[in-house]
C-alpha cells in the first residue's frame, strides 16, 4: 500500500524529467522536505499499529509511540518553525518550500494522521482488545457495581488531588502546562443562571487508564468528569470537555551562560514549562463557545486546533501494552552473550580484557546482551586493580544505571575517572544534571563537553597496567550507554585494543577534557571536523573505482539522511553509475530513482519490534571494503554542531559480519518500506511469488539463538 501524505508536496518529478548527466547543474527541487519526510516516518509507525499481522498489544504500543513521536515533533520542529517565522529569520528549506508552505502542509498532514490514529484506536484496536477480554470502556459502558467502585476510588484517591480553577474577573485564566490533560468545565449558578468556566487538570501522577478489574479499564478523565459536583458545590455542571495543549519545549542555552552551564540549564528547564503553545487538541464534541474561549485565552490561531474523538493523549496505551498476556505480544526474546564473551568451563564471568586482547568483539544489540558485554567491561574495569583510568562519554542513561554505579565505584577505589556528561541531551537534561552531580560527589572528573557542541559520540576508554606496559581498551558504539534501551534499540558496538583506534580515542578524550586539539585521526572520523569531508571523499573514491572498472558500491544505514552536501555527493555517484543503497529509519531528503539524477539509488526503511538505531557506512572500495560505524546521522546537527565519531571497523571477520547484515537488509526478499522519488513510501511485505518477505529482525533473532 502506497504511503501517500494527505497534503502533497508540489513535485516536478511527476513527469519524470531527464537530466543531462554531463551537466554540473543539479535540479533545485532535488531534496524532499525534511519535516514532511519525518511525518511519513511516523505514518509508517501508525501503519504498524493498523497492521493486523502485528500482535495486538504491540499494535497498542505502536499507537502510543505514534502519539509520543507527534508530541515531540510539535514541541521541537513545529515550535522552531513558528519561532523562526515570527522572528522574521525563516528562509526557504532545502526542498524549496517557503516556511509558511511547510507549516500549512504540516497541519494538513498531521490533522489527517491524528484522525487516522484516533480511528485506529476506536475502530480497530479497542474492538480487537475486547475480543480478547481486554476492554477500554467509557463511563456509560460500566455496570453499576463498577461505577460504584470507581466512585469510591474517586472519593479516596482522586478527589483529594484535584484543584478546580475558576475563570472570572477575580481569577485569571490559569496557566495550562504542556502535554497535560485538562477538563474544560462549564458550570451554572442555579440562582443567577449565569454560566462560568473552570479548568480541572487531570492529575498526571495517576494511571491514564484506571483498572476497573484486572483487564477492564476506563479513562481517568471519564471518572473525574462524572464526579465533578463535589468540586463545584451549589453549582450545576452544564458541560465537560477534555483538551490538551502542546507547547514549545525546545531548550536553548545561551553561549554566554557556558561558564556555568549547569545553573543555566536548570533555569532553562524552569522556562521550558512556560513555552508558547503550538497545538490545541480538543474532543470533537467541544462546544464552539468553549473552544473560542480557550483559543482566545491561550493566544492561539484557530488553525492550530485539532478536533479528534476522545480519549485524548493515547500515550497511556503503553500501560495497556504492558498487560501480562504473552500470547498477544511478540515472542519473548532474551539477548544472549556474544560467543567471544561466554563463560566456557566455570560459572564465573569471562575476563573481558583477555578476550579483547585475543580479538576484536563486534557487538550487535539487542541480539547480543549489553549487560554481559559493555556493562561487564565497565564493571570489571572498576574493580580491576590493574586498571588505572576509565574515560567515558554519557549522553543518555537509565535512572538506575549500573554504568553510573561502576564509575562511582572506580573513583572511590582511587582510579582516575573522567566522564563527559552531555547535560544538554534533549528531554534528558534533568536526569543528566542529577547524575553529573552524583558522579562529581564521588570524585569523578565530570566535564560538560565543548562550548557550542553537544557531545553525542559513544566512547569508553580503559587504561590498564600490564606486564608489557600500559594498554588501552576501547568500546565505540552507535547507541547510548543505557542498559534499558539496549534491550529494544538496535545498535552496534566495537570492543578493541587496536593500537591506532585506542590512540585516536585517547587523543579525542584529551580534546574533550582539555585544550588539546587533534586536527586529524588515523582510524576515526570526528565531527564537526571530518565526518562530512571523510564521507564525501570516500563517495568520490567509489566513483573513481567504478570508472576504472573496479568493484564499487555504497551502502549506508542511518536514522536520517538530510545533509545536502552528502546527498549531492550520492547523486554524483549515481550519475556516474555507482550503485547506492540507503537504509533509513526516519527522515530521508534524497529523491531516489529520478532519471538522470538518482537512477541507481535505492532507499529502504525497516521498522519493527526493535528501534533501528545503528549507523553503518559501507564502501566497496575496489574490492577491499571499508565499514565505518558510529554515532553520526547525516544531518546538519550531527555533522556541524555535535562531537560525533565514526570508526573504521578493523578485522575481516567483523567487516564480513556487517556485510552479511547489509546484504540481507537490502535483499529484495526482505520486508521493508521503499521510497519513491515523490516522497511516498510503499510497504513490501510479500514477495512476487506471494510468499511473505523475510522479517530482518526476526531473522537476526534466529541467528542469535543459533550462536551466529
Cα distances (Å, whole numbers) of residue 26 to 570, 666, 675: 12, 27, 20
β partners of residue 525: 646
Task: Tell me the CB-side half-sphere exposure of residue 86, using CA atoms within 13 A.
Answer: 8
Compute φ and ψ for 562, nearest 5 degrees: -130, -35
**H helix or E strand, kind and range, residue 648:** strand 642-648
* Helices assigned H by DSSP within 250-351: 261-272, 288-298, 317-321
The contacts of residue 326 (CB under 8 Å, 6+ apart) are: 332
CA 591 – CA 537 distance, rounded (Å): 21
CA 40 – CA 15 distance, rounded (Å): 22
Collapse the DSSP code of 674 into the 3-class scheme (helix H, G, I; strand E, B; otherwise coil) and give the result: strand
CA 229 – CA 238 distance, rounded (Å): 11
Are the beta carbons of 394 and 367 closer than 8 angstroms? Answer: no
* Catalytic entry in 456, 545, 546, 613: 456
**H helix or E strand, kind and range, residue 245:** strand 236-247
Are the beta carbons of 38 and 583 closer than 8 angstroms? Answer: no
Helix axis angle, 531-547 relative to 564-575, nearest 10°?
Answer: 0
Q: Is the dihedral of CA 664, 670, 673, 676 positive or negative?
A: positive
Are the beta carbons of 474 and 507 closer than 8 angstroms? Answer: no
Q: Which residue has the cell 546484504?
A: 663
Cα distances (Å, whole numbers) of residue 637 to 41, 129, 181, 459, 562: 19, 42, 32, 19, 10
Compute φ and ψ for 59, nearest 5 degrees: -65, -40
Grid coordinates representing 471 are 594498554
Q: Characterize 660-699 residue by residue with b for buried, 16 or more Cβ atoms within 10 angstroms of its Cβ, and e for exposed.
A: ebbeebbeeebbbbbbbbbbbbebbeeeeeeeebbbbbee
CA 388 – CA 415 distance, rounded (Å): 5
Does the active-site annotation cover 445?
no
Are the beta carbons of 158 and 223 closer than 8 angstroms? Answer: yes
Q: Which residue has the cell 517557503?
A: 98
* Helices assigned H by DSSP within 233-285: 261-272
Q: How do beta strands 601-605 and 672-675 pair? A: antiparallel
Are the beta carbons of 454 and 641 closer than 8 angstroms? Answer: yes
Are the beta carbons of 173 and 167 closer than 8 angstroms? Answer: yes
User: Which of 453, 500, 35 has the alpha carbon at shortest distance from 253?
Assistant: 453
The phi-psi region of residue 414 (left if phi > 0; otherwise alpha if psi is between -120 and 50; otherwise beta) is left
**H helix or E strand, kind and range, residue 438:** helix 429-441
Cα distances (Å, whole numbers) of residue 317 to 209, 239, 243: 8, 26, 18
Residue 189: other Cβ atoms inside 10 A: 12
DSSP string, 542-570: HHHHHHTTS---EEEEES-B--HHHHHHH
Q: Report, as residue numbers or ranges, the catalytic residues.
A: 456
Amino acid at each position: 500500500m502506497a504511503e501517500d501524505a494527505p497534503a502533497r508536496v508540489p513535485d516536478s518529478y511527476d513527469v519524470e524529467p531527464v537530466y543531462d548527466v554531463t551537466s554540473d547543474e543539479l535540479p533545485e527541487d532535488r531534496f524532499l522536505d525534511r519535516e514532511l519526510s519525518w511525518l511519513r516516518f511516523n505514518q509508517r509507525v501508525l501503519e504498524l499499529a493498523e497492521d493486523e499481522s502485528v500482535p495486538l498489544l504491540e499494535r497498542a504500543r505502536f499507537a502510543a509511540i505514534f502519539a509520543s513521536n507527534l508530541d515531540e515533533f510539535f514541541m521541537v520542529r513545529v515550535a522552531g518553525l513558528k519561532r523562526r517565522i515570527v522572528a522574521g529569520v525563516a528562509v526557504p528549506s532545502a526542498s524549496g518550500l517557503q516556511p509558511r508552505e511547510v507549516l500549512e502542509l504540516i497541519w494538513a498532514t498531521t490533522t489527517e494522521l491524528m484522525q487516522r490514529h484516533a480511528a485506529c484506536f476506536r475502530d480497530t484496536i479497542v474492538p480487537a482488545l475486547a475480543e480478547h477480554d481486554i476492554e477500554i470502556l467509557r463511563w456509560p459502558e460500566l455496570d453499576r457495581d463498577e461505577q460504584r467502585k470507581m466512585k469510591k476510588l474517586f472519593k479516596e484517591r482522586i478527589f483529594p488531588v484535584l484543584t478546580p480553577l475558576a475563570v472570572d474577573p477575580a481569577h485569571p485564566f490559569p496557566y495550562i502546562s504542556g502535554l497535560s490533560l485538562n477538563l474544560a468545565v462549564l458550570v451554572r449558578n442555579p440562582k443567577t443562571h449565569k454560566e462560568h468556566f473552570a479548568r480541572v487538570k487531570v492529575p498526571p501522577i495517576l494511571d491514564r487508564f484506571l483498572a476497573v478489574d484486572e483487564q477492564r479499564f476506563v479513562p481517568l478523565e471519564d471518572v473525574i468528569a462524572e464526579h465533578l459536583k463535589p468540586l463545584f458545590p451549589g453549582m450545576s455542571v452544564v458541560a465537560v470537555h477534555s483538551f490538551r495543549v502542546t507547547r514549545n519545549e525546545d531548550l536553548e542555552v545561551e553561549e554566554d551562560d557556558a561558564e556555568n552551564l549547569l545553573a543555566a540549564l536548570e533555569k532553562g528547564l524552569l522556562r521550558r514549562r512556560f513555552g508558547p503553545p503550538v497545538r490545541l487538541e480538543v474532543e470533537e464534541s467541544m462546544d464552539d463557545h468553549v473552544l473560542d474561549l480557550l483559543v482566545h485565552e491561550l493566544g492561539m490561531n484557530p488553525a492550530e486546533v485539532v478536533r479528534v474523538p476522545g480519549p485524548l493523549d493515547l500515550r497511556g496505551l503503553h500501560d495497556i501494552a504492558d498487560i501480562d498476556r504473552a500470547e498477544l505480544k511478540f515472542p519473548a526474546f532474551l539477548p544472549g552473550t556474544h560467543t567471544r564473551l561466554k563463560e566456557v568451563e566455570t560459572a564465573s564471568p569471562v575476563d573481558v580484557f583477555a578476550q579483547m586482547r585475543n580479538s576484536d568483539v563486534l557487538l550487535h544489540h539487542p541480539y547480543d546482551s549489553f549487560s554481559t558485554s559493555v556493562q561487564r567491561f565497565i564493571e570489571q574495569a572498576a574493580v580491576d586493580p590493574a586498571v588505572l583510568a576509565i574515560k567515558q562519554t554519557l549522553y543518555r542513561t537509565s535512572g538506575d544505571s549500573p554504568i553510573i554505579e561502576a564509575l562511582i565505584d572506580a573513583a572511590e577505589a582511587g582510579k582516575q575517572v573522567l566522564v563527559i556528561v552531555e547535560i544538554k541531551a534533549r528531554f534528558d537534561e534533568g536526569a543528566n544534571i542529577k547524575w553529573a552531580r552524583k558522579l562529581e560527589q564521588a570524585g569523578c572528573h565530570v566535564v560538560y563537553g565543548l562550548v557550542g557542541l553537544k557531545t553525542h559520540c559513544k566512547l569508553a576508554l580503559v587504561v590498564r597496567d600490564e606486564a608489557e606496559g600500559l594498554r588501552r581498551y576501547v568500546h565505540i558504539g552507535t547507541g547510548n550507554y543505557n542498559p534499558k534501551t539496549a534491550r529494544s534499540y538496535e545498535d552496534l558496538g566495537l570492543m578493541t585494543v587496536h593500537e591506532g583506534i585506542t590512540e585516536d580515542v585517547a587523543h579525542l578524550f584529551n580534546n574533550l577534557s582539555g585544550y588539546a586539539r587533534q586536527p586529524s585521526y588515523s582510524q576515526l572520523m570526528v565531527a564537526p571536523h571530518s565526518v562530512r569531508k571523510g564521507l564525501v571523499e570516500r563517495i568520490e573514491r567509489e566513483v573513481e573505482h567504478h570508472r576504472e572498472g573496479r568493484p564499487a558500491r555504497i551502502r549506508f544505514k542511518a536514522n536520517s539522511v538530510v545533509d545536502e552536501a552528502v546527498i549531492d555527493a550520492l547523486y554524483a555517484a549515481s550519475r556516474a553509475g555507482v550503485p547506492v543503497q540507503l537504509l533509513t529509519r526516519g527522515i530521508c531528503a534524497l529523491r531516489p530513482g529520478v532519471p538522470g539524477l538518482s537512477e541507481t539509488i535505492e532507499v529502504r526503511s525497516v521498522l519493527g519490534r526493535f528501534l533501528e538505531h545503528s549507523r553503518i557506512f559501507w564502501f566497496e572500495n575496489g574490492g577491499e571494503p571499508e565499514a565505518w560505524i558510529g554515532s553520526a546521522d547525516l544531518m546538519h546537527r550531527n555533522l556541524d554542531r555535535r562531537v560525533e565519531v565514526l570508526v573504521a571497523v578493523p578485522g575481516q571477520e567483523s567487516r564480513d559480519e556487517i556485510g552479511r547484515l547489509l546484504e540481507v537488509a537490502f535483499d529484495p526478499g526482505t520486508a521493508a518500506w521503499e521510497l519513491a522519488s515523490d516522497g511516498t513510501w510503499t510497504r513490501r511485505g510479500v514477495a512476487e511469488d506471494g510468499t511473505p518477505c523475510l522479517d530482518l529482525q526476526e531473522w537476526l533473532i534466529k541467528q542469535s539463538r543459533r550462536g551466529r
